Structure 1
Amino acid sequence: MKTSKLHIAFFGSSLVSAYWNGAATYYRGIVRALHARGHHVTFYEPDAYDRQQNRDIPDPEYATVVVYEATEDAVHRCLAQAAAEADMIVKASGVGVFDELLEREVAKLRSDDRLVVFWDVDAPATLDRVHANPNDQFLGLIPLYDLVLTYGGGDPVIRAYEALGARQCVPIYNALDTATHYPVAPEERFACDLAFLGNRLPDREARVEEFFLRPAAATPSQTFLIGGSGWADKPMPANVKYVGHVYTNDHNAFNCTPKAVLNISRESMARYGFSPATRVFEAAGAGACIITDYWEGIDMFFEPDQEILVAKDGDDLAAIIATLTPEQARTIGQAAYRKVLAAHTYEHRVEQLEQVLNGEFVKGEVVKDEVVR
């Protein structure tokens, strides 16, 4: 399918609100870059989970946003509108309302002149779910989609989806949105030695205890800061400050101010590997010195010890933060900043997506001399 000026209908959790919605900045980066390359996106999102009451942005100029009531009738009306207008219909994972209905009905809309795509923004969790339940309806739907795109996961996720019958599975990794994430002046409210930003989720909490709270307790002379929803009643050492939900317009200051910024993967993403969080690229785009928990595939994106620091456990993290100097942190942050601009922006990712849609991308390699059909 040639990609000149596609009309894309995108069913996702929310484009306009990052409230309990970590995928928001990923969606914004992808959709903004699609718009810049001449495509039109209508983003359908449900009015659910108080997201509309906690918007980060107004309706953006780079997409048409349709907020629908969290009812079955409203879903069907949006599906009918998408079928009438779109060349490509995307069902993202984790919409949060009527996901099973959307998975079924979007798959039915496949035709000779319309692609249907399942875009999995949490492939490890989806794959774990269907492997654990042979009666999961999604197992029978996977082969019906023209394409499965994923937030990450590398070869382990590709092989897993292909084994379940996917026609093609391609990771479209997180990246930097240069329009929204960039270096800014530091702000005193985010001053600390190490900051972590992430919502409290069941398969992340144990890793936050290991990679953040235990090192904080072990290094009382260092200051720590945690942002995100859900942590208010979590016991924390005295040298940890909790700042609550951090709106996206504060992310740059949050990343630029601390000596270092910590990335902690959710357990399932760490287990599959090759799943850098959006915030890794956002922090790099602000010139932050990033410390990440270990997961396979880090060196596909940043060079350990030069562009990113890697901790294999809490003891490792405590040793890193205790010895890291501000000068070392600045050097590493600047190296990450150069790398992310050169190789990891959403413009890079959407160029790859267009190659996939044009049949010019096979198993991670762009075919230069022939078009694969």
Structure 2
Amino acid sequence: MSLDIVVIGLSLSSSWGNGHATTYRALLRGLAAEGHRVLFLERDVPWYAENRDLSDPDFCRLEFYRGLDELAGRWADRIRGADAVIVGSYVPEGREVIDAVAALGPPLLAFYDIDTPVTLGLLDEGQEEFLAARQVPLFDLYFSFSGGEVLRHLEEVRGARAARALYCAVDPDRYHPVPGEPCWDLGYLGTYSPDRQPTLEALLIEPARRLPDRRFVVAGPSYPAGIDWPANVERIEHLAPGDHATFYSRQRYTLNVTRAAMRRMGWSPSVRLFEAAACATPVISDDWQGLDELFPDREAILIARETEDVVQALAGVSEEARAALGHAAQRRVLARHTGRARARELAEALQRQGAAAA
């Protein structure tokens, strides 16, 4: 059955400084391929308006709203008439948006938390800008970026009616190996984050100091001017999604660094992890619970716990073994973690919940 879905998310139009846009793009392309219709509503804010890299998607309808009054007024009938409405995490004035949408009475209301461990950490601190603790039980379905024990916690401690894992995914038509010789021995793609920086220091910057004859790269915005980058670390301020596949394909290894809250909870694979693997680029990652079940260590990924692990990978792994790691990860991603596979999971969950409520 074809579904009519409204998604209210942080951003679809701009990938600048967030991982939400590429996550939504893969998922919504998958939904379109499965025959579902999606309206994506995005708050029109200057930061993303000035850095849009997708203004007219061909896989969904994208519209912008200026504030709560416009959202609850202009789009009220569309929200009421949809088969399902999904509000995403980190939406501006998210708490007020959720209350306004719930008051309109859509047939099925869901939350897609692309930041679950961060969200729960904020709730623990009493910070409710994007989601209030009282709102968790409002949703018919709570889709979580994190799986494993986090789902039990959402239901048993936070009061979610039904928590379901909905990991990020990748569009294999856009993320695939690009022929060419490697430019860098190790690279990293990610916006600066204070809680990720110590891991980046240990797993990329320090290895660069120890291996001055090797080449490294860090792409992403907002890094402070005071960081002491070694001479063999290239900096790229921003990399548009259209350039990601080439970027990954030019690395002998790519580094995956997980935010502290997500590392503590586990079962929180980032979209960058799936994107790099889809390009058959071998991944070196920090360690967290559940990673080894998604990508077995030394079979489809290399898990690094300290600087020496990275140095050993760069200097001591044969080219044949390195390539085998990348291809093993790629096979896993193409089998289980594409946007279309994730779209099927989402649609099936919505359809089951809708049938149960009928």
Fold-level similarity (TM above 0.5): yes
Q: 2:89 aligns with which of 87, 93, 107?
A: 93
Letter in 1 for 2:93: F
Q: 1:211 aligns with which of 190, 193, 203?
A: 203
Following TM superposition, by how much is the alpha carbon of 1:327 offset from its aligned partner in structure 2, in angstroms? 3.0
Q: 1:245 aligns with which of 205, 215, 238?
A: 238
**1:232–1:244 CA contact under 8 A, matched in 2:** no
Letter in 1 for 2:115: D
Letter in 1 for 2:31: L
Letter in 2 for 1:104: D
Q: TM-score, normalised by structure 1?
A: 0.89
How many residue pairs get matched?
A: 353
Q: Distance in 2 between matches of 1:253 and 1:135?
A: 39
Following TM superposition, by how much is the alpha carbon of 1:73 offset from its aligned partner in structure 2, in angstroms? 2.7
1:46 is aligned to 2:43:
yes
Letter in 2 for 1:298: L
Identity %: 33
Following TM superposition, by how much is the alpha carbon of 1:194 offset from its aligned partner in structure 2, in angstroms? 0.1
Q: 2:118 aligns with which of 125, 148, 173?
A: 125
Q: Identify the structure with bigger relative contact order (alpha carbons < 8 Å, sequence gap 6+).
A: 2
Further displaced range: 119-128 or 313-322: 313-322
**1:110–1:145 CA contact under 8 A, matched in 2:** no
Q: Distance in 1 between matches of 2:128 and 2:243?
A: 43
**2:68–2:97 CA contact under 8 A, matched in 1:** no
Q: Distance in 2 between matches of 1:33 and 1:118?
A: 19
Following TM superposition, by how much is the alpha carbon of 1:232 offset from its aligned partner in structure 2, in angstroms? 5.8
**1:184–1:286 CA contact under 8 A, matched in 2:** yes
Structure 1, unpaired ranges of 5+ = 361-370
Q: What aligned pairs does 1:74-113 form with structure 2 within 5 A after superposition?
A: 74-95=70-91, 97-111=92-106
Spell out structure 1 runs of 4+ moving beyond 4 A.
134-137
Q: Distance in 1 between matches of 2:16 and 2:77?
A: 27
Q: TM-score, normalised by structure 2?
A: 0.92
What do residues 98-128 of structure 1 show as CA deviations (whole Å, max 9, x unaligned)? Answer: 22211222233345xx100111010001101
What do residues 247-275 of structure 1 show as CA deviations (whole Å, max 9, x unaligned)? Answer: 10110011101111111111111111111
Following TM superposition, by how much is the alpha carbon of 1:215 offset from its aligned partner in structure 2, in angstroms? 2.2
Q: Distance in 2 between matches of 1:108 and 1:203?
A: 37
Aligned position for 1:365: none
1:266 is aligned to 2:259:
yes
Aligned position for 1:179: 173
**2:87–2:98 CA contact under 8 A, matched in 1:** yes
Q: What aligned pairs does 1:1-373 form with structure 2 within 5 A after superposition?
A: 4-69=1-66, 71-95=67-91, 97-111=92-106, 114-133=107-126, 138-151=132-145, 153-162=146-155, 163-186=157-180, 191-231=183-223, 233=225, 234-359=227-352
The alpha-carbon distance between structure 1 residues 145 and 64, as it changes in their structure 2 partners (threshold 3 A), is same
Q: Distance in 2 between matches of 1:308 and 1:320?
A: 11
Letter in 1 for 2:121: D
Q: Distance in 2 between matches of 1:12 and 1:186?
A: 36
Equivalent residue of 1:359, what SS? Answer: helix
Q: Distance in 2 between matches of 1:262 and 1:57?
A: 26
Following TM superposition, by how much is the alpha carbon of 1:26 offset from its aligned partner in structure 2, in angstroms? 0.8
Q: Distance in 1 between matches of 2:104 and 2:86?
A: 11
**2:5–2:39 CA contact under 8 A, matched in 1:** yes
**1:18–1:24 CA contact under 8 A, matched in 2:** yes
What do residues 10-65 of structure 1 show as CA deviations (whole Å, max 9, x unaligned)? Answer: 11111121011211111011111111111111001112242222222241111000
Q: Distance in 2 between matches of 1:164 and 1:335?
A: 37
Further displaced range: 328-337 or 237-246: 328-337
Q: Distance in 1 between matches of 2:272 and 2:128?
A: 35
Q: Distance in 2 between matches of 1:258 and 1:155?
A: 31
Q: RMSD over aligned Cα, in angstroms?
A: 2.1
Equivalent residue of 2:238, what SS? Answer: coil
Q: Distance in 2 between matches of 1:310 and 1:48?
A: 38
Structure 2, unpaired ranges of 5+ = none
What do residues 334-353 of structure 1 show as CA deviations (whole Å, max 9, x unaligned)? Answer: 22222211222122222222
Further displaced range: 27-36 or 179-188: 179-188
Following TM superposition, by how much is the alpha carbon of 1:138 offset from its aligned partner in structure 2, in angstroms? 1.0
Equivalent residue of 2:137, what SS? Answer: helix
Letter in 2 for 1:88: A
Q: Distance in 2 between matches of 1:241 and 1:285?
A: 24
Q: Distance in 2 between matches of 1:242 and 1:324?
A: 26
Q: Distance in 1 between matches of 2:279 and 2:211?
A: 26
Letter in 2 for 1:145: F
The alpha-carbon distance between structure 1 residues 65 and 305, as it changes in their structure 2 partners (threshold 3 A), is same
**1:181–1:282 CA contact under 8 A, matched in 2:** yes
